[in-house]
Every structure is written in structure tokens, then in C-alpha cells.
Structure 1
Amino acid sequence: MNILGIDIGGTSIKADVYDEDGTALGHFSEQSTKICHENQTNEILEQICDLIASYQSSLDLDGVAISTAGVVDSQSGKIVYAGYTIPSYSGTDFSSEIQKRFSIPVTVENDVNCALLGEMWKGAARNSHSTVMITVGTGIGGGIFTNEQILSGHNFTAGEIGYLPIGNADWQSLASASALVQMYEEATGLHHQTGKTFFEAVDKSDPVALKVLETYVHHLAQGLVTLSYVLNPEKMILGGGIFARSDVLLPLLQNELYHAVQDQRFLPREIVTATLGNEAGRLGAVAKFLMDQGKNLS
């Protein structure tokens, strides 16, 4: 089979063709996502259709598997809600338009859910039966796998964990990568800081950076404890660029969690970092496609 796996983000659209074993067949492409914030418009649906046509000109495609930002009705293939990062995205109907134009099967799923499926198929969560994935970036997203399926919720919003209330704020305003950088800038008076410059200061044992790190880890752990109490997953996977510094973050998080819970049985058996990087979404989209086709994943 030739399955076109597509990952749609607010910055770029990445695609490659995979076989049913999840092997990339060497047709990777990447393009910028066409969004106009000034006019509150996007051209994503047309971009995806042009992309499919381009691949079809040289390959026989058996299906299209889409991973995308936003709240996705995975049964109908529509975007039912999207935040300000992709204007006018709500209501986009990938499934109907692609089937009308190309007459091939298509699946559409939320990007964090796809990343989780990818990690369960080929990455850090193989052989796990109960897994929660948390991605930490400009916001915080989540995916939940239990009872052999992704938990979607009746309005497909299960896993929107960035909105968890922590005190008087939501979790992502305290514990996203953006929140970390903002906290560091406020503490130092510096401008134009990044995660990289922050961790460089941590590596130099800068006292202000170390204090910010302590506060940040506490905020991050508060949400993880809540998820552990509610879901008690076998495995918890942490993803996002910030966990490139898992050498710093994981030991601190594990220590914070150890002291935050009533008993260790409330915690996951394992807390690990994601292993597939940017390919996780595409692989997970392909996994979703194969599962919907009744295939057993190897």
C-alpha cells in the first residue's frame, strides 16, 4: 500500500508516503502553511488537495492520512474547532472534499492523538495498553489511549489538557514552553530569550535560571499529578522541543511528582520522553488509517 501521511501545523505542512508497515518510502516534502492573520483566512484545504494531486501524478495512492492541529471530528473528517493560530479553520471538511476530488479513502485525526498513535506503533509506547501523551510547546496538548482506542470524548475535545485549571490560571499559561521563557524574561529583565538561552543559563548554574526552573517544574508537575489521579496510565510520554533537555527536566519532574502524590501507586509505571520527533504525527496518521481499514498494526 502507498499511504500519504500529512501533518498540518500552524507553521508548516509535512508529508511523506508510507507502506503498511510504517516505512517511509522516500517522498518527503515540506511547505509553509498559508495563513493570513490580517485577513483571518487560510488556504490549507487547497494546499492539501494540490499536494495530493502532486503525489498522485507520480504514485498510485491507496489512501490519505491527515494529522492536524485543532479539534477534529475523526468520524466525519472535519475540523470542529480551532484556536487563533489557524484562523477560519473550524468547519474545514477534508474528508468530503478529498473523496470528491480523488475518490480515495481519507482519515483525519488531531495531531497530538496522532503523535500518541505513532509512539505506540513505533516509538516510546510500544506494547503499552494505557498511555497518556503530553506535548509542551506554545501551549500544552494531550492524547489519551485506553481500552485499545484513542479517547475522543463526545465533542472530540478529550485531551485538551492545556485548559486544566491550576489555581487561578490554566495549565498551559503556567507550564508551556512559552510560559517558561516568559517567566525567565520577567525574572531577569532580559528580552528575546528562548528555551535554548534559558537552558544555557541553567547549565551555567545561574541562580535566577535555577529558581525559574524550580517554579516551572512545580507548575508542570501539578498538571501531571492531576492526570495521574484521573487516568492512572501505565505510561506517560512527554513530547515537545523542550524535552530535548530531558536530562535536566525528567529527574526534577520525577522528584516533584514523588513528593506530590499521596502514594506511588497513583503514578504511571513509566514516565518517558517521545522518541519519534516530527515524524510521530505522520506515522500516527498512517496508523489511524490502517486501523480504520481493519488492519492489524505490526
Structure 2
Amino acid sequence: MTLPATVAVDVGGTKIRAGSVIDGELAHVRSVPTPAADGAQAVLNTIAEVAAAVIAETSGSRGAGSASRGAVSGSHGAGSTSSAAESGGGDGSDSDFAWRIGIGAAGVIDPVTGTVVSATESLPGWAGTDLVAELTARTGLPVRVVNDVHAHALGEAAAGASRDSRSSLLVAAGTGIGGGFITDGHLLTGRNSAAGHIGHVPSAAAAGLACPCGGTGHVEAIASGPAILNTYQRLACGSAESNTEPAEPAAQGQSHNSASATAFRAPTSTPNSRSDRAGAAPAPTNTRELAVAASAGDALALRAFDIGARALGSALGGIVNVLSPELVVIGGGLADMDETWWGPLREAFAAELIPAASGTPLVKAELGQDAALIGAAGLWNDEPGQKH
């Protein structure tokens, strides 16, 4: 008798993570660089390679035959025909397991067709790729796929911070800002599978600021990690373009729709760059360094995180007023911040909620990077082709 077993894969612009999920347990996780610059075919070959390696390692650890232990190694060429199925007996199964693949991938993904509807330049040539057909041809295994942040949301709902809720909003706040809404165990994908683009909600704090999507004034342009670093640099240079200081929270009893609850006002004065002051440490060059500076009490770093956190909190409050989830789960790199970020995020979030939504919990994700793998494996818990 064979057990259902899933190779869960998380495909990002810089790395591909994969592991085996059997009876809900994630194991044999490995990570390889994404060959993004080499194009979609190279990325697909790498996914097939790492899937084969996970199958071989998992089967080998269970005492499967030598064929299973013969993991694929090295990089496949564009014309490679080596498959994951070959490492497990030729038909996607061995004496222990019946394998399939679940994927969370960057880009707007149609979960029914398995096609990349659109993608950014972090994965050149990714848009239009039929992931199901391409990977089934390479591996000989059935494949299901969803957007990577959507996979994170499914993972947290299955086994993480929102596992006991009927509805939840997952927000991934890091290099970008994305999200996924789960209700009764199902993912909302919406028209064109584009639901969850929280980073592209308009924000008064981001007025005039360019967004990676090509638009301006979106919350990602002020609240993502790179955007917060940009705010710090504008503050340090004394730029008048920095939409900076948060207004005082709305007074008790004031309308939750009042602009004063979320508006940002320009500073009356701007401190000098910390790198210009005698004995100051070098100015931060990335968000991680900026977080260290904020924790050490650097005024400009603290202000930059405050601005970004309040902008995101305000946007999330508005979204919760529309969707009314039981809780909001925050993941991504910014979620690892201390109260420097969490404090203003919670304050702005609470200030925006209508009375009926007051008290909606805002909590940290529990599963980290593994959420996407658990969520991708969970794609096999639904009927084939089900569109949420």
C-alpha cells in the first residue's frame, strides 16, 4: 500500500525551497538559488531537479530501493528529460509513496490552469508559463500550483497562527507587501487570480511615491522594507518629498473615516543625517542595518519605521473593515521587528477599525518560510481544479 506524498515547492526570485510532506509532516527541506537570469526554462529545470532530490532523499530514508536513492545531481540543461518520477520507480511512486507536487510560486498564478498570469522582472520570462504542463512533462508527476503568498496564507491557516479560525487575512510584509484571504479553509483568488495585492492599496502617506508596480501612491511604496529604507534616506537628506510625521491618532469618538486618523504631515524641521554627526556610525544601507539602528535609538531610523508601520496599519484597518476576518496574521521580514515597528502598526490599525471590527487580533505568523511549503502541499486537500 502506498501513502500519498507531496513534494512542496516555494519558488521565489532568489531561491527555491522544497521538502516532502507526508501525513502533514514537513521534512527533507532543501534550498537552491533560483536561476532567474537564465529564464523560465532554467527555473523549471531547477524545480524538477530539486523535486527529484527530495523524493530520492525521502524514499532513501524510508529504506526504498537503490533507484530511489539515486538522487538527481547537478544542473539540468534546457533540453533535459530527467524526471522526478525516474528517481521513484518511473511512475511517480515507489514501494512506500505515491508522489505529487504542490507549488507556491511568485507571480499572479491561475490555480485552475496552473499558468503564470503575470510576473515582475525578478523572474524574467515567467509570465505566460504553464507551470502544470511544463513540470508534469519534466517530472511525470501531477502538479498543482498557487501564488507563493497565497500558499503562505494556506499554510498558516492549516497549521500556523490562524489554524483555529474560520477566516483570516495573511499579510506578507517584507521586500514587497502581499496577502491572502482565507475563509472556511478556502482561498479567495478573485477575478484573474489577482486577489491579495494589499501592497497596491492607495495610501495618503505614499502620495507621489513610485510603486514597483509602475503606479504611484500605493502602500508598498511607503511600507515595504526597501520603502522604509528610502524614507530614512529622504529624511537624512532633508528631502521635502518625505511624507513623514504621523498625525496624532483620532480623538475618541471621532469618525473612523476621518482623514486625521491616517494622514501624514510634513515635518517642521529635519534632523541632519546621522552619518554627518561626529562619531556617528555609517548610515544603514539595507533594511536589516536600519532595524539595528532603530533598536539602538537612532531617531531617523525610528521615524522611518514609524511612518511605514502606520501606513500599513491604516491600510490593513481599512481592509478589515471590508472583509471582516477573525484575525490578521503578519508574516515576512518586517514581522521579525520589535515594538519599533509593531507598536505603531497596531496603533494605526486599531484607529482605523469601525466599531463592529474593533478588537480584531493582529498577530505574528508562526511558520516562517515553511508556511508556503505546508500551504502548497495542502493544495492536494481540495478537489482537482477547484477555484476559490
TM-score, L = length of structure 1? 0.89
Query: Where does residue 52 of structure 1 map in the other structure?
Result: 51
Select the residue among 306, 316, 323 that pairs with 1:214.
306
Could you tell me how far apart the structure 1 residues matched to 2:150 and 2:174 are?
Answer: 15
Paired residue type of 1:186: R
Q: Which of 215, 218, 230 in structure 1 is aligned with 2:322? A: 230
- Find the aligned partners of 1:202 and 1:53 in 2 and give their Cα distance: 44
Matches within 5 A, 1:109-128: 109-128=146-165
Q: Is the 8 A contact 2:8 2:103 kept in 1?
A: yes
1:124-157 Cα shifts (integer Å, max 9, x gaps) = 0011111111111221111011244100012100
The CA deviation string for residues 270-294 of structure 1, in whole angstroms up to 9 with x for no partner, is 1101111111111100011223469
SS in 2 for 1:253: helix
Separation in 1, partners of 2:383, 2:367: 22
Structure number with greater CO (CA < 8 Å, separation at least 6) is 1
Q: Is 1:252 aligned with 2:319?
A: no
Whether contact under 8 Å (2:114, 2:132) holds in the other structure is yes
> 1:251, CA displacement in angstroms?
3.0
Residues 152-188 of structure 1: CA distance to partner in whole angstroms, max 9, x if unpaired?
0121001112111113301100111111111112223
Match of 1:179 in 2: 227
Displacement of 1:267 after TM fit? 4.1
Question: How does 1:112-151 map onto structure 2 within 5 Å?
Answer: 112-151=149-188
Distance in 1, Cα, partners of 2:138 & 2:291: 48
After TM superposition, the structure 1 stretch with the greater mean CA deviation from structure 2, 120-129 or 48-57, is: 48-57
Secondary structure of 1:43 counterpart: helix
- Larger mean Cα displacement after TM superposition, 42-51 or 89-98: 42-51
| CA-CA distance at 1:63 after TM superposition | 0.4
CA 1:23–1:206: 2 relative to 1, 3 Å: same
Return 5+ residue gaps in structure 2 as ranges.
56-83, 208-216, 237-272, 276-282
Residues 71 and 79, structure 1, Cα contact 8 Å, conserved in 2: yes
1:30 corresponds to 2:31: yes
Measure the CA separation in 1 of the matches of 2:354 and 2:381: 41
Which SS does the other structure have where 1:104 is aligned? coil
Q: Is the CA contact (8 Å cut-off) linking 1:135 and 1:238 kept in structure 2?
A: yes
> What is residue 288 of structure 1 aligned with on the other side?
379
- Mapped pair 1:77 → 2:168: no
Deviation at residue 101 of structure 1 after TM alignment: 4.1
CA contact (8 A) 2:223 2:307 kept: no
Choose from 57, 60, 63 the match for 2:100.
63
Residue 236 of structure 1 contacts residue 268 of structure 1 at CA under 8 Å; is this kept in 2? Answer: no
Shift of 1:22: 1.8
Q: Output the CA distance in 2 between the equivalents of 1:239 and 1:111.
A: 13
2:18 to 15, 18, 31: 15
Q: Deviations over 1:99-146 (max 9, x none)?
A: 334442211001111101111111100111111111112211110112
Specify whether residues 200 and 106 from structure 1 end up closer, same or farther in structure 2 by C-alpha distance, changes over 3 A only: same
Give the Cα–Cα distance (whole angstroms) in 1 for the partners of residues 51 and 354 of structure 2.
Answer: 52
Q: Which structure: larger Rg?
A: 2
Q: Is contact 1:185–1:193 with CA below 8 Å preserved after alignment? A: no
1:204-255 CA-partner distances (Å, limit 9, x unpaired): 3222223223222221122112211211111101111111114433333222
Q: Could you say if the C-alpha distance between residues 293 and 262 of structure 1 is closer, same or farther in structure 2, counting changes exceeding 3 Å?
A: closer
Residue 261 (1) aligns with residue 353 (2): yes
CA–CA distance in 2 between the matches of 1:90 and 1:214?
A: 35
Q: Residue 238 and residue 268 in structure 1: after superposition, are their counterparts in 2 closer, same or farther (change >3 A)?
A: farther
8 Å CA contact 2:314–2:351 kept in 1: the answer is no
Residues 238 and 272 of structure 1 are in contact (CA less than 8 Å); yes or no, is this contact kept in structure 2? yes
For structure 1, the residue ranges without an aligned partner over 5 or more in a row are: none
State the alpha-carbon separation in 2 of the partners of residues 156 and 214 from structure 1.
Answer: 32
Q: Distance in 2 between matches of 1:288 and 1:121?
A: 11
CA distance in structure 1 between the partners assigned to 2:120 and 2:351 by the alignment: 35
SS of the residue 1:28 aligns to: strand
Q: Distance in 2 between matches of 1:99 and 1:126?
A: 31
Deviation, structure 1 residue 24: 2.0
Q: Which residue of 1 aligns with 2:289?
A: 197
1:193 positional shift: 2.2
Read off the aligned partner of 1:283 and give its amino acid letter. Answer: I
Structure 1 contact 235–268 (Cα < 8 Å) conserved = no
One-letter amino acid matched to 2:50: L
